[in-house]
Amino acid sequence: MECQRCHVSGRKPATVNSRKERFCDECFINFVSIKQRKQMMKDEFFRNLFKVVYPLDQKESIGKILLPLSPSDSGSLVMLDIVHDLLLEQLKQHNNHTGFTVDVLTIFTEENFPVVRERMESLVKEKMLELNKTSNIYKVHFININEFFNSTSEVSSLIIDDGNFEIFTKSRSVGGGNRLTLDEISGEYCLNNSSRTDLTSIMKVQLIKHFAYENGNNAIMWGHSMTKLSEVIISLVVKGKGSQIATFLDTESFDNLDDKPCNYKNLYPMKDLLSVEIESFLQIKNLAKYLINAEETNSKPSCSVTKNPSPSLDKQKLVKNMTINEITNKYFQDIQNDYSNIISTVLRTADKLTEPISNMIKPSKCQICQSKIYSNPSDWLDRITVTSPYPIETNEEEYLFKQWQDSKLGQSHTHYMQLLGEIKNDNDGSNKDDKLCYGCLILLNTSIKDKNLIWPKVNTMNGLVNSTNNDRELSQILEQFEINSDLEE
């Protein structure tokens, strides 16, 4: 089988088979790069951001891009690789000048820190360092996910009244010793994996956006493939967060954080690529070594001609143990080779959505995920739900009720009622505007212990940019990184 894109005179053997076309390595790399670059040049704003503007050496004409790099996400790594090649080209063509600089931001947890550091170190040494020798194009930042709690000065204790779905909150300031951590949130508050993943990803997104805000970036480049975007879209619908889709996909407006206007727009440069194509790109360019779980990555479905073995049955999770994200992920992974048009249809349809019309008197934001609220979910749920219990009438019912009260379930209910009473009592009405979006309200009501969650007040978030530099061990790599680049100048 030969590549269908090579020049007729010297067709190379095909290695990749995608969208009913056969590619050799080289033509496939081109195909993927062009798709990404097209998105990076999609409108005037982004064109001006990425291109080299003359006269040179004008600081304000150099775009400042934030590229969140997750060591377990192939998309972000492929994106970086293509950006890297673009930068190399610009340096060559424009006498050592580039149109933009890149802040690479990696969020780590205590657990994966050693391996994240090792992978990033090799990436820095093998790729980025070379570019920084000529001009300081890359900056590398690491943030501990617990900075989500450390960088805020106030937290709210949120609870749902299960009688009428109203939210009650109690705020307090936090300092030094009484900080929460991700482990505590997922161990003590979350009742299942779905809520764990949801809250973790809310933390990551908030950290990235706040970093971009503080750091003065002009764009955040998200590594979502078409497949990943469709997964997110369907997951949002399933979780009752469909009203957020339009804002999530918006690449035309400047972002908004706690009603502060931002200088950056969001961009999804990989949105024309399927995740199987990203995995094949990764294999061809031998990039998997920079990722955590490289073996796992190597066995992910791709569109390479030499198909990799599909994961054995015992490795596949039971559906009931999967999170909503994993279920939608599996669905799109399964269909993308033969029915990739479904994926593009999901994305094209979602792209046409606009923000819903709000019927709120005062504009509000969700206290957990920070999304805009268009109609109060508490009122609506209260209208459609009967929550008052049927009164006890017979001795048998009385006996069964006692038994339930003494059970684990009953005890936890008693605890919940006490907590609700306390927070309601302390609530002096000043927090009346604290609201949750429908999705987070359901999450709190069904997947969080005692329907009560302590969550940082994101509008008090501050000092993220500094916290990245304070990390002792990581700053050593960075120093080394900077010293090396200085020496060569």
C-beta closer to Zn ion: residue 234 or 440: 440
Q: Which is nearer to Zn ion, 5 or 37 (CB)?
A: 5
Cβ count within 10 A of residue 142 = 23
**Residue nearer to Zn ion on the CB measure, 27 or 220:** 27
Angle (CA) 349-355-361 rounded to 5° is 155
Of residues 65 and 324, the one with the C-beta less far from Zn ion: 324
Binding segment for Zn ion (CB under 5 A), chosen from 170-178, 257-265, 332-340, 367-375, is: 367-375
- Nearer to Zn ion (CB atom), residue 229 or residue 366: 366
Q: What is the DSSP string of 129-195?
A: HHHHHHS--EEEEEEETTHHHHT-SEEEEEEEETTTTEEEEEEEE--GGG---HHHIIIIIBSSHHH
Cα–Cα dist 302/287, whole Å: 14
Pick the binder of Zn ion from 5, 97, 125, 330 (CB under 5 A): 5
Q: Which residues contact 99 (CB under 8 A, 6 or more apart)?
A: 49, 50, 51, 52, 53, 61, 62, 63, 90
Based on the shown chain and the rule CB under 5 A, indicate whether residue 437 belongs to the binding site for Zn ion.
yes
Q: Are 408 and 142 in contact (CB under 8 A)?
A: no
In this complex, which beta carbon is closest to Zn ion, that of residue 141 or of residue 241?
241
CA distances from 452 to 114, 158, 190, 257, 422 (A): 33, 5, 10, 25, 12
Map the footprint of Zn ion across residues 11-40, applying CB under 5 A: 24, 27
Q: Is 3 in the site for Zn ion (CB under 5 A)?
A: yes
Q: Residue 412 Cβ, how far from Zn ion at the closest point, in Å?
A: 24
199 binds Zn ion (CB under 5 A): no
CA–CA dist 477, 298 (Å, integer): 28
Nearer to Zn ion, 69 or 437 (CB): 437
Please report how close the Cβ of residue 131 comes to Zn ion at its closest, in angstroms: 28
Evaluate whether 208 touches 66 at the Cβ level (below 8 Å).
yes
Pick the binder of Zn ion from 346, 366, 420, 423 (CB under 5 A). 366
In the complex, the smallest distance separating the C-beta of residue 137 from Zn ion, rounded to whole angstroms, is: 30
Binding Zn ion (rule: CB under 5 A), the pick from 49, 182, 270, 368 is 368
User: DSSP letter at 51?
Assistant: S
Residue 369 near Zn ion by CB under 5 A: yes
Residues 162, 389: Cα–Cα separation, whole Å: 12
Shortest distance in whole angstroms from residue 12 CB to Zn ion: 5
Contact window for Zn ion (CB under 5 A) among 321-329, 385-393, 434-442, 452-460: 434-442
| Buried residues in 240-268 as b, exposed as e (16+ CB within 10 A) | bbbbbbbbbbbbeeebebeeeebebbbbb
Chain residues 284-313 in contact with Zn ion, contact rule CB under 5 A: none
Which run of H or E residues covers position 64? strand 63-68
* Closest distance to Zn ion from the beta carbon of 15 (Å): 9
Size of the site for Zn ion (CB under 5 A): 10
Q: Does 237 bind Zn ion (CB under 5 A)?
A: no
Measured from the CB atom, the residue of 1 and 417 that comes closer to Zn ion is 1
Nearest distance, CB of residue 444 and Zn ion, angstroms: 9
**Contact positions vs Zn ion (CB under 5 A):** 3, 5-6, 24, 27, 366, 368-369, 437, 440
